[in-house]
């Protein structure tokens, strides 16, 4: 698997302030998760059951994993509960989860922000995140397990990047070597890995990664950006 380190930014004219702000918001939300704990994380995470039933779950929910019961804590969240489709995009489950997502946003987000402009980039990012969340809800509509992370929205950024800059050079770490590959290869392999991982999941089960959210977000970004015109004054690559 390729680990991205950077891309060719010579064509970017617009300072990616929105990308910086999104990273700051995710960092702030992570600090709140560390400070408050489960009461914050579970309140604002996306729970498929809550979305499909319009009900905010409160109190522990018992699941059976084989012959072993597991209690999933639930705390009061925002009203209406559908707001968790947005709030969950700023939460993360670990330091590695946060840093990995922010790295992808840092590398690939500036190109899309430059193409769309700042205001439309915000809408694009949040829309892809919502599409990602709904994709996960679609495959597990009654699951009480929380889904969280910016990866669905960032997958939309990757989809948009693939649609608009497939030939752009991306530096990646591959087996302890730094090589340069076109974005079509790097992002194509990433998307294929998500599809294969989702296909390998037993029906009706959920692992530690919401692969369907990645797939849905990526597809939303790839399709939507092709319907949008570039911002006024966009000149593209030199």
CATH code for the domain in which residue 114 is found:
1.20.1540.10
- Residue 170, beta-bridge partner list: 7, 181
pLDDT at 190: 95
Kindly report the length of the chain.
238
Question: pTM for this one?
Answer: 0.92
Please count the structural domains in the chain.
1
Asked, for residue 46, whether it belongs to a domain, the answer is: yes
Asked, for residue 237, whether it belongs to a domain, the answer is: no
Asked, for residue 234, whether it belongs to a domain, the answer is: no
Asked, for residue 235, whether it belongs to a domain, the answer is: no
Residue 27's Cβ-count burial label (10 Å; 0-12, 13-18, 19+) is middle
Asked, for residue 193, whether it belongs to a domain, the answer is: yes
Asked, for residue 70, whether it belongs to a domain, the answer is: yes
- DSSP β-ladder status, 3-7 and 169-174: antiparallel
With vertex at residue 174, the alpha carbon angle to CA 217 and CA 184, rounded to the nearest 5 degrees, is: 40
Task: Express each pLDDT in 219-234 by its tens digit.
Answer: 999 999 999 999 988 8
Instruction: Tell me the residue range of the domain where 190 lies.
Output: 3-227
Map residue 40 onto helix, strand or coil: helix
- Residue 65, beta-bridge partner list: 68
Asked, for residue 12, whether it belongs to a domain, the answer is: yes
Task: Express each pLDDT in 43-83 by its tens digit.
Answer: 999 999 999 999 888 877 766 555 666 777 888 889 999 99
Asked, for residue 233, whether it belongs to a domain, the answer is: no
Task: Express each pLDDT in 96-145 by its tens digit.
Answer: 999 999 999 999 999 999 999 999 999 999 999 999 999 999 999 988 88
Distance between CA atoms of 224 and 128, rounded to whole angstroms?
A: 9
Residues 6+ apart with CB under 8 A from 44: 77, 78, 84, 87, 88, 90, 91, 148
Q: Dihedral (C-alpha) 167, 124, 83, 136: value to the nearest 10 degrees?
A: -30
């Amino acid at each position: 698997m390729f680990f991205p380190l950077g891309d060719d930014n010579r064509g970017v004219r617009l300072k990616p302030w929105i990308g910086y702000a999104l990273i700051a918001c995710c960092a702030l939300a992570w600090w709140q998760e560390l400070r408050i704990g489960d009461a914050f994380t579970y309140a604002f995470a996306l729970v498929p059951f809550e979305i499909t039933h319009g009900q905010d779950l409160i109190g522990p929910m018992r699941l059976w994993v084989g012959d072993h019961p597991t209690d999933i804590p639930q705390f009061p969240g925002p009203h209406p509960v559908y707001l968790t489709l947005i709030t969950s995009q700023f939460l993360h489950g670990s330091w590695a989860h946060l840093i990995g997502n922010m790295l992808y946003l840092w590398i690939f987000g500036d190109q899309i922000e430059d193409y769309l402009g700042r205001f439309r980039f915000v809408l694009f990012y949040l829309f892809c995140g919502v599409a990602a969340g709904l994709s996960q809800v679609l495959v597990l509509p009654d699951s009480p397990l929380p889904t969280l992370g910016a990866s669905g929205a960032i997958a939309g950024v990757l989809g948009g990047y693939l649609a608009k800059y497939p030939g752009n050079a991306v530096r990646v770490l591959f087996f302890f070597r730094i090589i340069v590959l076109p974005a079509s290869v790097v992002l194509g392999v990433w998307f294929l890995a998500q599809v294969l991982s989702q296909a390998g999941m037993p029906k009706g089960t959920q692992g530690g990664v919401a692969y369907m959210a990645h797939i849905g977000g990526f597809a939303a970004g790839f399709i939507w950006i092709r319907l949008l015109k570039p911002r006024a004054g966009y000149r593209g690559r030199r």
